[in-house]
Amino acid sequence: MLPDVARAWEHLQRVAQELFTRYGYEPVYTPLFEHTEVFSRGIGEATDIVSKEMYTFEDKGGRSITLRPEGTASVVRSALEHNLTANGAQAKLYYAGPMFRYERPQKGRMRQFWQIGIEVLGAAEPTADAEVIAVLWGYFEALGLPRESMRLLLNSMGDDACRPAYRDGIAAFIRAHSADLCDECDRRAATNPLRAFDCKNPACREVMAGAPLLRDELCEACASHYAAVKTHLDALGIPYVEDSSLVRGLDYYTRTVFEIQVEAGLGSQNAIGGGGRYDRLMEAYGGPATPGLGFALGFERTLLALEAAGVGIPAPPRAEVYVARVDDTVTAEVFGLAQRLREAGIAAELDHQARSLKSQFKQADRLGARFVVIVGPDELAAGEVTLRDMGTKEETRVALGIAVDAVIAALG
Ligand code: HAM
């Protein structure tokens, strides 16, 4: 990431920190790699991520380790390891960093990509679902992405009470239509039938459009949880589209799942962020039953979506003031003044390449400096420097002793 992109990344992280902190989330950093089973057990052996996309290798101690393909498994693993949710405590955490998936690279899909995410552990109430969705939605709005360019998809995956029967029903549906489905979907009947909803093959999509909907077969508890989430979203004025084919690519989900997609700029990789509830994940690691939920958003895709919507990333000037020297008899004063300006909180730059005065002005322009302080032997002899407004080209003399204050006043 060169400075243009790195600056955007820092902006995205700053906006995230500010917003997530307001909602009570605390930062967490997890390792870039974990024991492989953290992901295989958490995300699910039959998922594409675990079965095809992990960077897994043996370390020198013969242990199988994997570069993290996502953050949720690691956050839940560490919360359990460090007892963050002991005695019913709630943990609200956020993270940002690189993730690794061995996918076929294309626009918006890379093998090392960056995510920002949040996780809430210990919260079972549907207000938590609505809050997490509101944070994701609000984050994209805070970045300046217009509402109209986003589509929030919402679904419920059910739970252990209603999903197994539904899963069996879909497996039977797939077997009954296997002649019209691709080989992969056919295999999914045995491994992960709900993933057939996610197949990109048009023939499979057509068949699956006729499959029974989980929404219609949710148990009482899941149906009322789902209804409450929708009520809370309605109250917040967050528009959503119910999509029963939204199954997501990770097996840990229960109940609410969601994704935000954009129309423009991303082609088929149009999900900029997504997440859901995973009430059984901590148990999968041998911990106590602890509800959880969260989201992650992709940095690269968010940038592409912002670009397509014509939203820029704020780029502060690299220098507000440039301190220029007329010749090298005044180098010490120039160096000293630049330092005093920086200590006063002003972005100041000076020449380190023995440039001519003319090219120092050009450099000042390139850096976006609004003022140049010109230090020359004649002015210095009078105890003064010249303050040049780069916009109006107006020049004023000020006493060297008050040059810092004069610059502060001029910058307003
Ligand atoms: P995910 O949907 O797999 O969910 O990834 C979240 C986001 O990461 C996607 O919406 C996308 O923007 C970005 N992303 C994923 N793969 C790539 C890739 N290969 N290249 C570029 N961007 C990518 C999760 O990872 C879950 N851990 C989300 C979650 C948190 N669920 C609950 N808590």
Spacing, Cα 284 to ligand 1 middle (Å): 21
Spacing, Cα 114 to ligand 1 middle (Å): 9
Spacing, Cα 75 to ligand 1 middle (Å): 15
Per-residue pLDDT tens over the stretch 163-215? 999 999 999 999 999 999 999 999 888 888 988 988 889 999 999 999 999 88
Give the separation between CA 23 and CA 18, rounded to whole angstroms: 9
Grade residue 46 by pLDDT with cuts at 50, 70 and 90: confident
Q: Which residue owns the Cα nearest ligand 1 atom 18?
A: 109
Spacing, Cα 10 to ligand 1 middle (Å): 19
pLDDT at 103: 95
Determine the straight-line distance between the first and last CA of the chain, rounded to whole angstroms.
Answer: 34
Q: Which residue owns the Cα nearest ligand 1 atom 17?
A: 109
Grade residue 42 by pLDDT with cuts at 50, 70 and 90: very high
Residue 37 clears pLDDT 90, i.e. is over it: yes
pLDDT at 157: 95
Residue 63 clears pLDDT 90, i.e. is over it: yes
pLDDT > 90 in the chain, percent? 91
**Mean of the per-residue pLDDT values of the chain:** 95
pLDDT mean over 95-102 = 98
Give the separation between CA 352 and CA 287, rounded to whole angstroms: 59
To test the pocket of ligand 1, the residue of 5, 113, 140 to mutate (highest count of ligand atoms within 8 Å of its CB) is 113
| Ligand 1 atom, smallest distance to 301 CA | 12
Cβ(121) to ligand 1 under 6 A?
A: no
Per-residue pLDDT tens over the stretch 221-253? 999 999 999 999 999 999 999 998 898 889 999
Spacing, Cα 185 to ligand 1 middle (Å): 22
Per-residue pLDDT tens over the stretch 345-403? 999 999 999 999 999 999 999 999 999 999 999 999 999 999 999 999 999 999 999 99
Nearest to 150 by CA among 140, 135, 139, 162: 140
Grade residue 406 by pLDDT with cuts at 50, 70 and 90: very high
Residue 57 clears pLDDT 80, i.e. is over it: yes
Residue 269 clears pLDDT 90, i.e. is over it: no
pLDDT at 198: 83
pLDDT mean over 33-42 = 97
Residue 265 clears pLDDT 80, i.e. is over it: no
Domains detected in the chain: 3-162+218-308 (3.30.930.10), 168-211 (no CATH), 321-411 (3.40.50.800)
Write the DSSP string, 99-166: EE-----BTTB-SEEEEEEEEEES--SHHHHHHHHHHHHHHHHHHT--GGGEEEEEEE---TTTHHHH
Per-residue pLDDT tens over the stretch 395-404? 999 999 999 9
To test the pocket of ligand 1, the residue of 106, 115, 302 to mutate (highest count of ligand atoms within 8 Å of its CB) is 115
Helix (H, G, I), strand (E, B) or coil at 284: helix
pLDDT mean over 280-309 = 97
Least confident of 138-142, 194-198, 332-336: 194-198
Spacing, Cα 105 to ligand 1 middle (Å): 15
Whole-model pTM: value is 0.93
pLDDT mean over 70-84 = 98
To test the pocket of ligand 1, the residue of 9, 70, 302 to mutate (highest count of ligand atoms within 8 Å of its CB) is 70
pLDDT at 298: 98
Q: Which residue owns the Cα nearest ligand 1 atom 8?
A: 298
Give the separation between CA 315 and CA 351, rounded to whole angstroms: 22
pLDDT mean over 284-295 = 97
Spacing, Cα 227 to ligand 1 middle (Å): 25
Grade residue 5 by pLDDT with cuts at 50, 70 and 90: very high
Residue 320 clears pLDDT 90, i.e. is over it: yes
Write the DSSP string, 306-325: HHHTTPPPP---S-SEEEEE
